[in-house]
Amino acid sequence: MLGRPLAVAWQKKTTAGLLFQVRGRGTEAFSSLEEGATLEVRGPQGRGFPVPAGERLLLAAGAMGLAPLLFAWERYGASRPGELLLGVSCSRWTGLVEWLHRRGVPCTVACDDGSIGRKGTVVDLLERLIRKEDEVWACGPQAMMVAVADLAPARFFVSLEARMACGYGGCLGCVVPTRSGRLRACVDGPVFDGREVLWNDLLH
């Protein structure tokens, strides 16, 4: 029935790369696609990250939230100081981490059970690193984003995920509570100013 909103994780010439975890029927269908299969794609939709202006650009990814931040890293990582931080839950994510290393992406990893990288969360990594003049971009589970928001970065942007139906701004199925009202993740987002999002309402 519905399309699936996915972030572009990298781009090379005319190829766009997607990263996804098999979670339900949609991603299951993606995972069983064969080479040469045709997909119907609508996009790019909505608004992306702004041009970074902070002293350093710290990218905080929670698991699959890596996708848009990997794209950001490949766009800005070489040209300005910053770090890519990735938090995962357990050793099931080893494949993703190894894939990143093979890709030559320098990335600090934290793992809840300590089986990969440092024991802890991506928020722990960020907390140790963050300085007042830094800019933080985050994408991941809501609880992680709330914890990042609590660190109160001066410039803070988040890429949010929501169940989405129309994807063009009509149905209001994917709204995010913000200081400017409930805004549509599909066209007003998915990137929002993290200081504008009403995190407590989002978690309800």
Q: Using CB under 8 A as the criterion, which residues of the chain lie in contact with another protein when the complex forms?
A: 1-3, 25, 42, 163-175, 177, 181-182, 187, 201, 204
Residue among 42 and 102 whose Cβ is closer to another protein = 42
Amino acid of residue 184: R
Residue among 82 and 167 whose Cβ is closer to another protein = 167
Cα–Cα distance measured from residue 167 to residue 37, given in angstroms and rounded to the nearest whole number: 23
Q: How far is the CB of 28 from another protein (least distance, A)?
A: 13
Q: How far is the CB of 49 from another protein (least distance, A)?
A: 22
Cα–Cα distance measured from residue 13 to residue 192, given in angstroms and rounded to the nearest whole number: 28
Q: How far is the CB of 50 from another protein (least distance, A)?
A: 21
Residue among 18 and 165 whose Cβ is closer to another protein = 165
Residue among 2 and 143 whose Cβ is closer to another protein = 2
Cα–Cα distance measured from residue 28 to residue 31, given in angstroms and rounded to the nearest whole number: 5
Q: How far is the CB of 31 from another protein (least distance, A)?
A: 17
What sections of 32-190 are H helices per DSSP? 66-76, 94-102, 122-129, 142-150
**Which residue shows structure tokens 């978690």?**
203
